Amino acid sequence: MGPEQIRRWESGALAHAVTDPFGQGPVPWLRGGETYFDDTGQVVPWYVDPAPDPAQGPRTPRVPAPRGAGATGGGLRSADDVHQQIKGFISTGAVAPGGAVDFHVTVNPPQEFTVDVYRIGHYGGDGATKIITSPRLSGIVQPPPLAADRTVSCHHWWLSWRLQVPSYWSIGAYVAVLTTADGRYRSHIPFTVRDDRPADLLLLLPDVTWQAYNLYPEDGRTGASLYHAWDDDGRLLGERDAATTVSFDRPYAGAGLPLHVGHAYDFIRWAERYGYDLAYADARDLHGGHVDPTRYRGLVFPGHDEYWSTAMRRTVERARDHGTSLVFLSANTLYWQVELAPSPSGVPDRLLTCRKRRGPGKPVLWREIDRPEQQLVGIQYQGQVPEPHPLIVRNADHWLWDATGAHEGDEIDGLVAGEADRYFPRAPLPEHDERILLAHSPYTDADGALRHQETSLYRAPSGAWVFASGTFAWSPALDRPGHVDLRIQRATANLLDRICKRD
Domain co-membership, 328 together with 450: yes
Shared domain for 31 and 157, answered yes or no, is yes
Same domain, 180 and 304: no
Give pLDDT, residue 201.
98
Whether the Cβ atoms of residue 303 and residue 264 lie closer than 8 Å to each other: yes
Residue 64 has pLDDT above 80, yes or no: no
Average pLDDT over residues 405-418: 95
**What pLDDT does 369 receive?**
87
- Cα–Cα dist 343/333, whole Å: 26
Q: At which of 185, 213, 247 does a domain end? A: 247
The residue count for the chain: 503
pLDDT confidence of residue 360: 64
Residues 233 and 297 in one domain: no
Query: Of 177, 212, 247, which residue is a domain's last?
Result: 247
Say yes or no: 321 and 232 in one domain: no
- The per-residue pLDDT for 358 is 66
198 and 313 inside one domain:
no
Tell me the per-residue pLDDT of 67-86, one tens digit each, with 9 for 90 and over. 333 333 346 788 889 899 99
Label residue 322 exposed, middle or buried (CB < 10 Å: 0-12, 13-18, 19+): middle
- Residue 240 is classified by DSSP as G
d(CA 303, CA 106): 29
Residues 141/113, Cβ–Cβ less than 8 Å: no
Considering the domain architecture, whether residues 91 and 219 belong to the same structural domain is answered as yes
> Do 162 and 31 have their domain in common?
yes
Task: Give domain status of residue 382, yes or no.
Answer: yes
Q: What is the distance between the alpha carbons of residues 64 and 68, in angstroms, rounded to a whole number?
A: 12
* Residue 175 belongs to domain with CATH number: 2.60.40.1930
For residues 390 and 416, the answer to whether their CB atoms sit within 8 Å is: yes
Q: Is residue 365 part of a domain?
A: no
* CATH number of residue 408's parent domain: 3.40.50
d(CA 325, CA 430): 14
284 inside domain: no
Q: Is the confidence at residue 368, as pLDDT, over 80?
A: yes
Residue 356 lies inside a defined structural domain of this protein: no
Among the ranges given (265-274, 280-289, 357-366), the one the predictor scored with the smallest mean pLDDT: 357-366
What's the pLDDT score for residue 295?
94
- If asked whether residues 329 and 384 sit together in one domain, one would say yes
> Worst-scoring range by mean pLDDT, 114-118, 200-204, 233-237?
233-237
- Helical H segments across 155-260, by residue range: 207-212
* Weakest mean pLDDT among 6-20, 80-94, 130-144: 6-20
261-273 vs 486-500: helix crossing angle, rounded to 10: 70
Count of structural domains within the chain? 2
What is the distance between the alpha carbons of residues 248 and 104, in angstroms, rounded to a whole number? 12
Give the model's confidence band at 357: pLDDT under 50 very low, under 70 low, under 90 confident, else very high: low
Q: Within a domain: residue 29?
A: yes
Domain boundary among 191, 225, 247: 247
- What is the spatial distance between Cα 259 and Cα 306, in angstroms, rounded to a whole number? 12
- Residue 320, domain extent: 292-335+373-500
Average pLDDT, the chain: 85
Pair (232, 327) in one structural domain: no
Average pLDDT over residues 312-332: 97
Could you tell me which residues come within 8 angstroms of residue 346 by beta carbon, excluding any fewer than 6 positions away?
none
Residue 235 is predicted with a pLDDT of 83
Q: What is the pLDDT of residue 68?
A: 32
Judge contact between 455 and 469, C-beta under 8 A. yes
Instruction: Give the pLDDT score at 35.
Output: 45
Q: What is the pLDDT of residues 235-255, one digit of tens each?
A: 888 888 999 999 999 999 888
Partners of 339 in the β-ladder = 353
Express each pLDDT in 283-310 by its tens digit. Answer: 999 999 999 999 999 999 999 999 999 9
CA atoms within 13 A on the CB side of 251: 36
Amino acid identity, position 12: G
Q: Give the distance between the most distant pair of CA atoms in the chain.
A: 63
267 assigned to some structural domain? no
Tell me the per-residue pLDDT of 473-503, one tens digit each, with 9 for 90 and over: 999 899 887 789 999 999 999 999 999 997 6
Instruction: Give the whole-angstrom CA distance, residue 453 versus residue 417.
Output: 10
Regarding whether 219 and 110 lie in a shared domain, the answer is: yes
Looking only at the bridges linking them, the beta strands covering 307-309 and 336-341 are: parallel
pLDDT of 331 reads 95
Report yes or no on 467 lying in a domain: yes
Highest mean pLDDT pick, 39-43, 202-206, 224-228, 230-234 = 202-206
- Residue 113 φ then ψ, to 5°: -150, 165
Same domain, 236 and 314: no
Q: Is residue 427 part of a domain?
A: yes
